Structure 1
């Protein structure tokens, strides 16, 4: 008698467990649930991509600053400026085709012909 009661209870418990599992799986496979799962995965993927992109941008920025410092050092751009003393401006460049003048000749005349517009 106890054996029958034990196996009956074990069968009933297994049936309840199996029914619960099947019902959960069926609820997971409804269109609304599948859409919600897909949306959640898309949001998670977006967050991962954003985090990686921000990390990549920070790495690029750090490397850019490092390379800029290396170039500045190599070109002497980081050196302190020379002592503050009165510096002369360079002499003006003269163009030989203008006869040595530094300013172009602006005294020319303009003629207007109405027929040129047509």
Structure 2
């Protein structure tokens, strides 16, 4: 009698365990769960690529500094480009000179 009760309980527990395992796997394989997992991995990959790019930039700046020092090119760099004195004024939109037209509405044709 105890033997039968033991094996019955063991079988019931194994059935509950297997059913739970299968249900979890089915939930993981639903399209929305797969899309969520893919989005998470894409975001994680984006973070890794950003960190890599920052490391590359830091290495480039360090190496550029070493090369400039080795070549004696430590002069300050002018960041602003030179401005052209004779620039033509930009035309202003609107006003009396240039009337503003409404965009064409395709629904008016029918």
On whether the aligned pair clears a TM of 0.5, the verdict is: yes
TM, length-normalised to structure 1? 0.61
Q: CA deviation at 1:68?
A: 0.4
Q: Would you identify which runs of 4 or more consecutive aligned residues in structure 1 move more than 4 Å?
A: none
Equivalent positions of 1:1-118 (< 5 A) are: 1-72=1-72
Unpaired stretches in structure 1, ≥5 consecutive residues: 79-118
Following superposition, the deviation at residue 71 of structure 1 comes to 0.5
**Count of residues in Structure 1 that have an aligned counterpart in Structure 2:** 75
Q: Which runs of 5+ in 2 are unaligned?
A: 76-110
Cα distance in 1, alignment partners of residues 49 and 3 from structure 2: 59
Distance 1:11 1:25 in 2: 21
- Please state how far the C-alpha of 1:61 moved relative to its aligned partner: 0.6
Q: What TM-score, normalized by structure 2, do the two folds share?
A: 0.65
- For residues 56 and 10 of structure 2, what CA distance do their matches in structure 1 show? 57
Question: What's the C-alpha RMSD, in Å, of the aligned pairs?
Answer: 1.5
